Amino acid sequence: MDIVRNADGTLVVPVEPPRHHGGDDEGATVSSDPGDAGGSASDTAAVPTTRLLHPGEGGYDEALSAWDLQQNPDREPAVSTVSGRQEAMTLIHAVASSPDQPVAPAVEALEDPDASGEALRHVLVGGVHSVEDFAAEVAEAEGGEPLSAHQTTKIIGEVLSELDA
């Protein structure tokens, strides 16, 4: 199952069902059906197969990075250049400063969208601390208070989604 990114930035991620390591004395049922692993249908129905992650939740950055890779599985590993990172910082600041404005015009104004996208992917691959450091770097370069990791990750997701459109 693929990761799905919703318009509000949430991600629907697949969840692997928990493995049960029980012995005969732990109440496992025995079935004559060779396809039955010993559990009841109600056991498997109660286990969710997906989870909804919101920006800022544990695992969100990793899931967003996986979603981005899923969009183009043949893409080379992300490499951040100085100019791409600078342009990405300006873009993130612009989008954060105008939350009611669509992301598309800001992305269209990029001189090198590929380099900016690679810089943002590189930030995501680094996880939460990388996103926090990037947000602080944006605030230092562009002025203002640093965005939260939650806000930064959500904006990065919106920008990458627009770049891939």
Residue 165: pLDDT over 80: no
Determine the pLDDT at residue 138. Answer: 92
| Axis crossing angle, helix 60-71 with helix 113-125, rounded to the nearest 10 | 140
Phi/psi region, residue 18 (left: phi>0; alpha: psi -120 to 50; beta: rest), is beta
Q: Considering the entire predicted model, what is its pTM? A: 0.63
Dump the DSSP string for 67-105.
HHHHH-TTPPPP---HHHHHHHHHHHHHHHH-TTS-HHH
Cβ atoms of 131 and 124 closer than 8 Å: yes
11 has pLDDT over 80 = yes
* Confidence grade of residue 29 (pLDDT, cut at 50, 70, 90): very low
Read off the DSSP letter of residue 144.
S
pLDDT (tens digit per residue) in 46-73: 566 888 888 777 788 788 878 878 887 8
